[in-house]
Amino acid sequence: MSIGLVLRSPPRDIYRVGAGQAVTSEDLKALMAQVAQARDRAAYGRLFQYFAPRVIGFMVRSGVSATDAEEIAQDTLVTVWRKAELYDPRQAAVSTWIFTIARNLRIDLARRATRQRNGVAALGAPEIGVAESAESATLSDERDAKVREAMTQLSREQATVLRLSFFSEKPHAEIARELGIPLGTVKSRVRLAMAKIRPFLESER
């Protein structure tokens, strides 16, 4: 596919850009504006070369493997290309916005890994990379149905955050932004909700 026709995917040759030079916060805001308003490939290239190594370094220092760190960095910058128009310079610095995307992707990666491990353990099966079977899909549906039934025991606020966390698989920080409540409140509601429905779920086994 011609690059000129790709409007929502990042230019592929950008990934070969070398190390970038230092830029100011105002430079970064200007580059974001160029990407958001004009889909400027050169501006995106500068953002990529500036942030990709920084995101990778941050992830590695956070305990993420080098391979996963590179994947998160790439996904982060792809998201920047696709959602540049959502950036609001009045709300946060460019670096804050981009590293928030990266942290959310790291959380998503960890959550998927945990859910996969838990699913494998629950089935008592070896962890192998195969497509989900009809049986496991049925078990997953049954589990979700039990959780939905258990959620009727919760307050509306607790049910909302648990639904967004469990079924929509949204990071707590994203839920906090979406609901307009503090991150600590989201974590507290999820913790209380899980404590309340756990006995119900265990009794259904």
Residue pLDDT, tens place only, 69-99: 998 999 899 999 999 999 998 888 999 999 9
Distance CA 148, CA 18 (A): 49
Asked if the model's pLDDT at residue 67 lies above 70, the reply is: yes
The verdict on 118 and 70 lying in the same domain is: yes
Q: Cβ distance 55 to 98 under 8 Å?
A: yes
In CATH, what number is assigned to the domain containing residue 8? Answer: 1.10.1740.10
pTM as predicted: 0.51
pLDDT class for 6, splitting at 50, 70, 90? very low
Distance CA 74, CA 156 (A): 37
In CATH, what number is assigned to the domain containing residue 175? Answer: 1.10.10.10
Asked if the model's pLDDT at residue 53 lies above 90, the reply is: yes
Q: Supply the range of the domain harboring residue 145.
A: 131-205
**How confident is the model at residue 111, as a pLDDT?**
81
pLDDT class for 136, splitting at 50, 70, 90? very low
Domain boundary among 130, 154, 184: 130
